[in-house]
Amino acid sequence: MGAIDITSRDKMEGESKVNIEEERRGEAEHMKGVRHLYDAGVTKVPGRYILPASERPHIVSCGDTTSTHNLKLPIIDLSLLHTPKRAMVLEALSLACKEFGFFQVVNHGIPNEVVQEMVEVSKRFFGMSYEERAKYMSSDLQSPVRYGTSFNQIRDRVFCWRDFLKLNCQPLDSVLPFWPSSPADLREKTIAYANGTKTLFMELMSAILESLGVDKKFLSEFDDGSHLMVVNCYPPCPEPNLTLGMPPHSDYGFLTLLLQDEVEGLQVQYKDEWVTIEPVPGAFVVNVGDHLEIFSNGIYKSILHRVLVNSLQNRISIASLHSMPVEKVIGPATELVSESTPKQFMDTDFAAFLEYISSTEFKKKNFLESRKLTCTREQRTEGQPC
């Protein structure tokens, strides 16, 4: 009996050693990100990326994200802001921020070649060897450059199917030496693009303040405002029904200016459904972030959005997130608070947000919810005490 015990225990120990080894190897592989998995020829989504069934995307047919649920967002022609049609454009902007929290802009003033060169250098960055990209990995959320996979690969329970390069763009002179030195033209192309998006952001904020009836002097608060650029890479995924490029989330800043290539994938929540935002060549997708929802005292909406992946095409997107300087406290604008429209959110600062995301899994609209002072419509209809 003893002999049998010893033999079977040895066998079990031997097997579990093999399993642990295999697990470790798998772990190390997926910590290298999805571009690495794709380059290695992965044919199945590794377990760490598989979402619980209730959180999966329900893609109509595998690899085809074109469904009947496409949404044509309002397209705003910014060249009209400088014509007698300005008032009409402000009205369209205001409606879009209330109804969708999203809109697209064309004739935005950023030269096409600046945009194209940014997309192209981003593709070359993700096309470099893993070792080259990994030089920029960091677990410090405030590092001027951060390369990684998922959202927070140290904490995320389930990984999402994206790799990212995050570049802090403010203040440019001091962050620049930390940016990747290869591809050799990355810094030059990214500076041109960052300057273009900053100018566009300022123009949009000026229009948004006017549409809200808030004093324009507030605009100077953004001169040295935070500016984060996130280059997202979504390689083809063998089983796109099991995972997401990004789970449902809202963005923290005032506005996000998103450049998506010709491959669709971005979905926003609209009337309780996920709808796909069709790429419009040369346009930017602009969305209201949590800080603008707070600042507008809830008038403009920071809406949940997510990203689908597909089995055929690589997708690149570049998000520019703009807000006030990180040390500033953000609260509802005084012009928008009155007896009939009481303050809906607590004042907040960037430190509170960073603390929030590093202490919990980055998910859904929880940050904004955590700053709410009054009860939500859902709570009211459910009759819950606030």
Interacting partner of 277 out of Ni ion, ligand OGA, none (Cβ under 5 to 8 A depending on kind)? none
Q: How far is the CB of 259 from Ni ion (least distance, A)?
A: 13
Q: Which of 214, 269, 218 lies closest to 247, judged by CA?
A: 269
42 interacts with ligand OGA by CB under 6 A: no
CB of 256 to Ni ion, least distance (A): 6
CA distances in angstroms from 88 to 78, 84, 92, 200, 203, listed in the order given: 11, 9, 6, 19, 16
Smallest separation (angstroms) from ligand OGA to the CB of 86: 29
Question: Which residue type occupies 360?
Answer: T
Residue 266 contacts ligand OGA per CB under 6 A: yes
Q: Is 354 exposed, middle or buried (0-12, 13-18, 19+ CB in 10 A)?
A: middle
**Cis status of the peptide bond prior to 84, with omega within 30 of 0:** no
Pick between residue 96 and residue 266 the one whose CB is nearest to ligand OGA: 266
Write down the least CB distance from residue 347 to ligand OGA, Å: 24
Contacts (Cβ under 8 Å, ≥6 apart) of 41: none
Instruction: Specify the 3-state DSSP secondary structure of 371.
Output: coil
CB closer to Ni ion out of 37 and 285: 285
CA atoms within 13 A on the CB side of 198: 21
| Cα gap 383→5, rounded to integer Å | 62
Single out the residue of 110, 209, 246, 309 in contact with ligand OGA (rule: CB under 6 A): 246
Residue pair 145/138 in contact by the 8 Å Cβ criterion: yes
Site for Ni ion in 318-377 (CB under 5 A): none
CA 43 to the chain's CA centroid: 27
Q: By CB under 6 A, is residue 163 in contact with ligand OGA?
A: no
CB of 125 to ligand OGA, least distance (A): 16
Tokens of 250: 């809202």
251 belongs to the binding site for Ni ion (CB under 5 A) = yes
Q: Which of residues 218-237 bind ligand OGA (CB under 6 A)?
A: 230, 232
| Contact partner at residue 318 from ligand OGA, Ni ion, none, CB < 5 to 8 Å by partner kind | none
* In the complex, least distance from residue 265 CB atom to ligand OGA, rounded to whole angstroms: 6
Count residues binding ligand OGA (CB under 6 A): 12
Q: What are phi and psi of 311, to 5 degrees?
A: -90, -5
Task: Output DSSP code: residue 157.
Answer: S
Residues 297-316 within binding reach of ligand OGA (CB under 6 A): 305, 307
Footprint (CB under 6 A) of ligand OGA, residues 309-368: 317, 319
Q: Are the CB atoms for 190 and 175 separated by under 8 Å?
A: no
- 290 lies in the site for Ni ion, by CB under 5 A: no
Nearest approach in angstroms of CB 221 to Ni ion is 22
Q: Report what 230 binds from ligand OGA, Ni ion, none; CB cut-off 5-8 Å by kind.
A: ligand OGA
Quote the least distance from Cβ 350 to Ni ion, whole Å: 17
Q: Is 11 exposed, middle or buried (0-12, 13-18, 19+ CB in 10 A)?
A: exposed
d(CA 339, CA 357): 33
Residues that bind Ni ion (CB under 5 A): 251
Residues within the interface to ligand OGA (CB under 6 A): 230, 232, 246, 251, 258, 260, 265-266, 305, 307, 317, 319
